[in-house]
Amino acid sequence: MLNAEHLNIKSKIGSDKEYLFIGCNLLIVAFISGSELWLRTRQQYHKQIVVGCGYIISYLMYFLIEPFVDGAQMLLMMPIIVSLVYFDRKLLYSLGFFSVVFYAGIYFGLERVVLHKPLLEFLLVECVFIVFVIMTQAVISRAQEAQEHLEQLTKSEQGLMVERAISDKLLKIDALTGLYNHKTFHEYLDLLLEQCESNGLRLQLALLDIDNFKRVNDTYGHWVGDLVLKEVATKLGGMIGLNDFAARYGGEEFAIIFTDKTLPEAYSYVEELRMSIASMGHPYAGGKPITVSVGLCNYEPGLGKELMFRRTDDALYKAKKEGKNTVVTAQASQGEACLLNIV
């Protein structure tokens, strides 16, 4: 049978030392509970609390176990592991240096004097400290490299998303006026017309044409003409509703799609817009007012895109013919009425 001499036990706890053993365990529980309470209730000094608690607990456990178990010094590596939690290289070096120095003080002040431990054991433990710091530093370096690589990938992906968004915007937006372009206008209109036919969505189309725009270009130059287009577009984009859609249809012509409005409401919008444009000042164009003529058409179920455009364009032509700077609402011609009846 095995006896106590064959076991790797140096001594046993005497009845007079039990209070020290219990006290150390109570201190460990108290420090862990206090640290947990601090971390949950306070927002400051989290790293310092974790590091300090790690040091105190590791050395308390070391003093509890060391008299009975060889190699208990490995518990003293616990504080260094904290640096892995934060991936902090500076913290690692600080903890490593402090551990080496602190253990040296414990060895020469306690273990060598009281426990008569050999110097070789001290040197081995210090070497383990240094090797552990080097290994931990390698882990932190690889983790930081992986993090940097991930950040680069994230930035590259974000850059691609931004470039894609910009490209998509450039494909949809007119470069001069900032409104939607001709192609995007028709794509949006097609979708809305489907909603009109299937869900009864109310829709009106307005075509606006700047009056005497060729004269502006010929008299003051094309750069003045571009300024006029920009100002009219800005006014137009600022006055329409959130559910409406404005585009530069081509040249000096603009288009507005009104949704979920009655024809009188849409007419009120374009009339207010017409008067607002007419009241704008243009000092670079001789101070003369710039006006627009407007054709407005209300969509009716079964009308179709082609007939709606024909009505709107006829209304715009009528507005031009009747003296410009006016709004004309489209009316169905007899030929269109016959065509709709056939359909």
Residue 116 identity: H
Q: Are residues 136 and 205 in the same domain?
A: no
Do residues 136 and 249 share a domain?
no
**232 and 306 inside one domain:** yes
pLDDT in tens, the chain (343 residues): 444 444 444 444 444 556 666 777 788 788 788 888 887 888 787 777 877 787 788 877 777 776 666 667 777 777 777 777 777 778 788 888 888 888 888 888 877 887 788 888 888 888 888 888 888 888 888 888 888 888 888 777 776 776 676 666 668 888 899 899 999 999 999 999 998 989 888 999 999 999 999 988 888 888 988 999 999 999 998 888 888 999 999 889 999 999 888 999 999 999 999 999 999 888 887 778 899 999 999 999 889 999 999 999 999 999 999 889 999 999 765 444 433 333 3
* 177 occurs within a structural domain: no
- In a shared domain, residues 89 and 43: yes
Residue 160 lies inside a defined structural domain of this protein = no
Residue 106 lies in a domain: yes
b/e code 275-287 from CB counts within 10 Å (16+ = b): eebeeeebeebee
Q: Are residues 118 and 194 in the same domain?
A: no
Q: Which residues are catalytic?
A: 252
Verdict on whether the full-model pTM lies above 0.75: no
- Please, what sign has the CA dihedral across residues 254, 255, 261, 262? positive
Indicate if 230 and 302 belong to the same structural domain: yes
- Whether residue 228 sits in one domain with residue 117: no
Matching residue, tokens 């020469």: 108
Task: Tell me which residue has tokens 């690889």.
Answer: 142
- Tokens encoding 241: 């509703």
Contacts of 149 (CB under 8 A, 6+ apart): none
Residues 188 and 327 in one domain: yes
The pLDDT tens digits of the residues spanning 301-311 come to 889 999 999 99
Q: Which domain holds residue 103?
A: 18-149
Nearest to 229 by CA among 214, 244, 245: 214
Closest listed residue to residue 246, CA positions, set 335, 177, 191 = 177
Residues 105 and 246 grouped into a single domain: no
**Going by C-beta distance under 8 Å and a sequence separation of 6 or more, which residues neighbour residue 305?**
189, 190, 193
Computed from CA positions of residues 343, 301, 191, 309, in that sequence, does the dihedral angle turn out positive or negative?
positive
**Contacting residues for 308 by C-beta, under 8 A, at least 6 apart:** 205, 297, 299
- Provide the Cα torsion 90, 92, 95, 101; round to 10°: -90
Q: Assess if residue 7 is contained within a domain.
A: no
156-175 per-position pLDDT tens digit:
777 677 667 666 666 888 88
Task: Please give the order of strands across the beta sheet that includes 203-210.
Answer: 245-250, 253-259, 203-210, 292-298, 327-329
292-298 vs 327-329, strand pairing mode:
parallel
Does residue 279 sit in helix, strand or coil?
coil
Distance of alpha carbon 271 from alpha carbon 252, whole angstroms: 18
* Last residue within a domain, chosen from 96, 129, 149: 149
| Residue 171, in any domain of the structure | no
Residue 164 within any structural domain of the chain: no
Which of 216, 207, 202 has its CA nearest to residue 248?
Answer: 207
Task: Let me know whether 49 and 124 are in one domain.
Answer: yes
| Distance spanning both ends of the chain, measured CA to CA | 109
CB atoms within 10 A of CB 296: 26
Answer whether residue 173 is part of any domain: no
Task: Tell me how far apart the alpha carbons of residues 235 and 269 are, in angstroms, rounded to a whole number.
Answer: 12
The domain that holds 219 is classified in CATH as 3.30.70.270
Number of domains in the chain: 2
Task: Please indicate, yes or no, whether residues 255 and 337 belong to a single structural domain of this protein.
Answer: yes
- Does 4 reside within a domain? no
Q: Do 210 and 273 fall within a single domain?
A: yes
Q: Which of 96, 127, 149 lies at the terminal end of a domain, its last residue?
A: 149
